[in-house]
Structure 1
Amino acid sequence: MRCPECGESSNARLKYCENCGGKMPESPQGLTGSRPALRTNSTRRALEGPSYAADILDEAEAHSQGAAYVPAGTRDTAEDTDPGQSRPGYDGPKWLASVPAHSQSIVGLAVLSFALALSILPSFDGVGVVGALLAVVGAVLTLARELRLAGEAQGVTKLLPEVLYRPEIPAAFSALLAALSFRMLGIGVMPVLWLLASGLIIHDQWRKVISGPDGVLARWFDPRQLLVMPSVLTLGGVGLALLTLFAPWATLSTLPEVPDAPVPSGPPELRVIGAQRAADDVLYSANAGTITLTGWDLSGAVLVELLLLSVLALLALKPEVSRPTWTRFAPVGVLGVGLLWALLHLKLSPGPFIFVVGLAAMGVQVVRQLRESRDSLAPAPAYDDSHDVTEREEDPEPEDMYPDDEGNPDDMGPDDEGNPDDMGPDDEEEPKPRGR
């Protein structure tokens, strides 16, 4: 409907023109009453109506229905009570959309926790008390770092000191998982769980903190140093020693031990020696009642493995990296611990002897470091004044400053001066030409 005063088109339900303020003619719908007609949800507003006129109509409709009217602008600018909607949308892999911090490492930590829980049962193999304790500590620190980087669980992450959030912590945890996964190699459920958990965590942390020009590997280590003599002997010796842990080291008997019992009807010194019954079937009862133990089944094997790998880490450090003084003697201590552990479990099996051969190859590097430490700690030679070439020589005496064939001018008398009559023509000085 158009205004009769200015001719501007306006909403037919308004009584006054929005442009000039003139009175609008009554519409046919307005004859039924002064209240505006109620609109249903299916009723569409005219597109030519002004925006503020639409707000007036919405307010009138809300008033007629007895509901509180909220302007559209207020609804758009209201404070958002959901903190998650203010963050940018997640555009990563779909399988990480519902994972806390959208981190692949957290998925690996969940698998690792399941593997550690299964290792409590006697029917599943584990990494031992030392390995499990180190894995739990590293998992907690890595989880806290991932949550802090994502801005989640800030109340919990603030409890840990700042030094535990350095990138070296997840890098060391990745190296620990690689060592423990090497120990768990085999056929079964536990090796699969450990390889899966280690693969997820190491792959994620490799991209985040280990690789790259600013990664932990580039800033602290140079693996090429392990490929030069005599470090390459240490590398080969440690590798050989770790591989022998999969070899047989000892055997245990599962047969019950029956003590010698006295014969009731005989003298007291007569005792029956317990003899095992001969096998009925040689094919299926060979080696029955014995269990073969590998090096990993012995107590302290994981600790020895970590000590041997720590020696390789020390040798791979860059020369410019500062290190404590005790690290010079660390290979000696590791070699001693390894030999002592091998002697405690020494049996007539190939495993212990090959393990000692690997430690002997590692001993070459130990002897070299001992010599270098002895030379660096040796006292400096005593200072000898008689052979000090840097000492300033004394000024010579005036009598020694002249040649022996010439006299001292101070000691020459009038008789010592040359006679001009005795001078020949050859002794006279030749006149010098004058300059023009």
Structure 2
Amino acid sequence: MMLLTATDKFSERNKLILKFMFFVLLAIYVINCFTPLRLHYDSVRYLAIKDCIEFGCPPDSDAARDYFPFGYTAWLLILSKLGILSSISIVVTNCLFLLGGLYFISKVFEKKISPYLYFIIVLLNWLFIKFVTHPLSEMEYVFFSSGSIYFFYLFTRGRKIVFLFCSLLFCWLAFVTKTVGITLVGALAFGLIWEFKESQLAFLKKNKFLIVGLLILIAASVVLFAKQLGLNHYIGVLSKHLNEAPFFTRVAWRFTEWGELFLNTPSNKVVERLPGLGQILFISVGVIVFSFFCIFLYFKKNTIPAFIKAYFLFYLIIMFNWPFNDPRFWVPVMPVMAAIVLQAPLGINYFYKFSSRLLLAVYFLLGFTAAGYMIYSSNNKAFFAKNQAKGFYKKEYEMHFFNKDPKGAASTLNSSDTIRTVNIGDSVKIVNPYIMGLLKRYN
């Protein structure tokens, strides 16, 4: 028995309800397109890199030396050159990226899951509701990585080289959008080996020296272009911070994040109110769901393509070694995770059917609550300024919203001080001129 999948033989009434919920969610996402510019630490970095390319900046500035991949920056630059870069265009294109990515994944699993339920599950997750409104690279990555998966799936079905070319193109675009796309590169390589394992064994035996030469060439290319690809930075981060985040600390972070994904709510507020119990709750849910998910994906018979299993495995390896904590790290693979979860068997007895639907109802309720929160914050400027990015840019937002134009608000990047504010004395706060410039130009 699948959890509310296409094989459940939904009644026409249930299908209409799902369709109605889907269009309600689309309306909510459209409303959220009119949010003020939602700045985030990484958002400011992307915009600063874009300004550095477009307007120039000192070679020793933070933006000039930033290691972020250039994919999302290139998209911001395109919008800027078209004269349409604004908070609205950023959110609209993020929504289109997300919907396009979900469409690709839904087509891969269209005979195994309910498309409307799949879209609802993802669109109602608080992480997508939140981060689709931010100038961040996640939605662009979802689109390109999902497109790569879709075209490679078509290639495995029909062996048409055009689909393989499209898959590799989308894979490259995903990689230059987020460096974690290296996991997708590995998955496609594994997929090619898996699909042609018999013929490749004969080819390998016949062309051993050619293969060794190609591997050496690839390794040399990675070494030569490691800096441009951002690999040097990430290797440095791992070596520097792994000691600060021991293995069991990282494991606790990852399980907490999984608890946040499937309980559909951030853990910080719950943990603040229930310091001990809250943390145990999220970790416990994360352990249970993670175990269930991996057992189904890797140890139970299923029809999930081998290259998707490899993709998720490679992603897990990186995440469990990444020495930072943020549920946003899972956004790139959540569309794939949702499609897999919707195919997982949960039993046929009444208890499982009732509990699964109860959990789904709670998930929906918390998702709509998150959507309501975003709409409310977008329309309450004082609340927005206080809570966006945990109030880090509160002074800049207040001065922008309430028509207080500080002297020296910069319109272009002209210093490395792009993300800091300064306190003088006990009460006077100097606003960041670059942040004020961003709000003036793009809000």
TM class, shorter-chain normalised? under 0.3
Query: TM-score scaled to structure 2, two decimals?
Result: 0.23
Computing the radius of gyration from Cα coordinates, the structure with the larger value is 1
- More relative contact order in 1 or in 2 (CA 8 Å, sep 6+)? 2
Give the TM-score normalised by structure 1.
Answer: 0.23
